Amino acid sequence: MPRIKSLYYTVFLVLCLSIQVALADDLPIKITNVWISEAPPAVSPLAAYASLQNQSSYEMTLVAVSSPDFSNIEIHLSLVADGMARMEKQPAMTIPAEATIELSPGGYHLMLFNPGKQFVAGDKAMLVFTFADGSAVSIEASVMKRNTAHQHKHHHPE
Ligand SMILES: [Cu+2]
């Protein structure tokens, strides 16, 4: 009996491993350069950036980003209207077929609310990206310094 139990256990482990690999392989979006901008303790939310490359022949829509390290995460777009730079919350972000969208300072970015701790350069946080087709992928983000601090004021010159 112990032999059968350990066989079941081995099969279970192999299944778990193959499911994880399948998820990473099946996702037609490659998410790279995921980083969170280090900010002084008083500054919240934090801003995060990434590169999303859609390798499929159909559009993919990012509908949610979540993390155990933050209460909630919003997709924002920085824009300039009437000479003023501001940010607008986006309900989703669509990546056209075979296109890459860079989340970067001054454009699309993620706002990470209520960090569970003080994040400093070198720290890591897990971000889960969920798409309209139900697929999801978790990616490790690195906290990094940047030259010009992202103050997240709604009226500031970029
Ligand atoms: Cu923002």
- In tens, the pLDDT along 82-92 reads 898 899 999 99
Which tokens sit at 106?
């001054």
Residue 145: its pLDDT value, please? 92
pTM: 0.76
Residue 1: its pLDDT value, please? 52
| Cα 106 to middle of ligand 1, angstroms | 9
Asked if residues 137 and 91 have their Cβ atoms less than 8 Å apart, the reply is no
Residue 32: its pLDDT value, please? 94
Residue 3: its pLDDT value, please? 62
> Is residue 58 assigned to a domain?
yes
Q: Domain range holding 80?
A: 28-144
Residue 21: its pLDDT value, please? 43
> Is residue 18 assigned to a domain?
no
Which of the four pLDDT bands, split at 50, 70 and 90, describes residue 42?
Answer: confident
> Is residue 74 assigned to a domain?
yes
13 Cα distance to chain centroid = 28
CATH number, position 44: 2.60.40.1890
Q: Which residue has the higher pLDDT, 106 or 93?
A: 93
| Cα 88 to middle of ligand 1, angstroms | 7
Asked if residues 62 and 129 have their Cβ atoms less than 8 Å apart, the reply is yes
Q: What does the buried/exposed string (b/e) look like for 27-36 if buried means 16 or more CB atoms within 10 Å of the residue's CB? A: bbbebeebbb
Q: Number of structural domains, the chain?
A: 1
Closest CA to 48 of 27, 31, 28, 25: 31
